[in-house]
Amino acid sequence: MAGLKADFGHYTHAIVRGIPASLAENALRTHAGEEVDLAEAQREEEAYVEVLRAKLGLEVVELPADESLPDCVFVEDAAVVCGDTALITRTGAESRRRETEEMKAALKDLNLNLVEMTDENATLDGGDVLFTGQEFFVGLSKRTNQRGAEILADVFKDYAVSTVPVLEGLHLKGFCSMGGPGLIVIGSSEPAQKALKIMQQMSDHRYDKLTVPDDAAANCVYMNLPNKGHVLLHCTPEQYPESAKVFEKLKDYMLIPVSNLEKVKVDGALTCCSVLINKKANV
Ligand code: GLY
């Protein structure tokens, strides 16, 4: 079994995509509720991209928004990248399948080895894929099925792949993410805690956990960057005050609160809005 990937969290590039006006009315959402303020969602997205580009120095590839694809800003679902291999997914929602076209072209331009999930019995959203640096956990959810997980295991053969039932919410990473090497950030709800227990039982590795009161706040973006060290994009105190206090206690991190008040209304989380790539791994 592979050990901790030495360059876990190292990234040089990010792929993001603009927000189409159609997101406000037509993006998929698990709960009908408050209307999305489109201008505010676009400001949030610009601020997110600015953090990646200006603050963190990543090379950001910005794909154009497509009005016929209301969810296209959530690029994470269209591809899973690990090392120099990119798996182009077959997204669980049929209305999102064409999102992979622009993604495929962008990943090809970055000279990654592309594998396409073409099996018509398979579905997989990147939001269901948690890579810990040592192994993959794949959420079996409304969007991702067993066949999708099997294909991912076949593509990333160096790593163990275990499946985890997602009992509530849209995606596995709706209530967890990596907060550092060997550190799983997890929400407090019963389904989240159950999922963590399953992950711990199935793994040969020991993980530390960082529990936050709000499930949605457990979705954060971890990076380990030259001259910056451990970096964590996490929820703002305005959105999740109690969870933000947990992150604020982390030592030796560059902590970057990022607002996600609008995109969360259509089930968008922080990891959803970028595909992170380490081109240095490929030279
Ligand atoms: N709105 C994000 C999704 O449903 O996939």
Where are the domains positioned within the chain? 2-277
Among this protein's residues, is 272 annotated catalytic?
yes
Tokens of 177: 């993410």
Amino acid 25: pLDDT: 96
d(CA 151, CA 154): 5
pLDDT band at 225 (very low <50, low <70, confident <90, very high): very high
Regarding the beta carbon of 71 and ligand 1, being less than 6 Å apart is answered yes
Among this protein's residues, is 31 annotated catalytic?
no
Regarding the beta carbon of 266 and ligand 1, being less than 6 Å apart is answered yes
Q: What is the mean pLDDT of the chain?
A: 96
Q: How far, in Å, is the centroid of ligand 1 from the Cα of 203?
A: 29
Nearest CA residue ID for atom 3, ligand 1: 28
What number does the ligand 1 atom closest to the CA of 93 have? Answer: 5
- Give the residue-averaged pLDDT of 145-157: 98
What number does the ligand 1 atom closest to the CA of 96 have? Answer: 5
pTM of the model: 0.97
Q: Is the CATH number 3.30.465.10 carried by domain 2-277?
A: no
Q: How far, in Å, is the centroid of ligand 1 from the Cα of 185?
A: 21
Catalytic residue among 171, 176, 220, 234: 171
Rounded percentage of the chain residues whose pLDDT exceeds 90: 95
Tokens of 20: 């189409």
Residue 109: how many CB atoms within 10 A of its CB?
A: 10
- Pairing relationship of beta strands 79-82 and 85-88 according to DSSP bridges: antiparallel
d(CA 263, CA 41): 6
Residue 262: how many CB atoms within 10 A of its CB?
A: 23
pLDDT tens across 56-85, in order?
999 999 999 999 999 999 999 999 999 999
- pLDDT above 70 for 283: no
Q: How far, in Å, is the centroid of ligand 1 from the Cα of 73?
A: 10
Q: How far, in Å, is the centroid of ligand 1 from the Cα of 165?
A: 18
User: Which of 244, 238, 177, 184 minimizes the C-alpha distance to 214?
Assistant: 244
Pocket perturbation via mutation, ligand 1, pick of 36, 124, 266 by most ligand atoms within 8 A of CB = 266
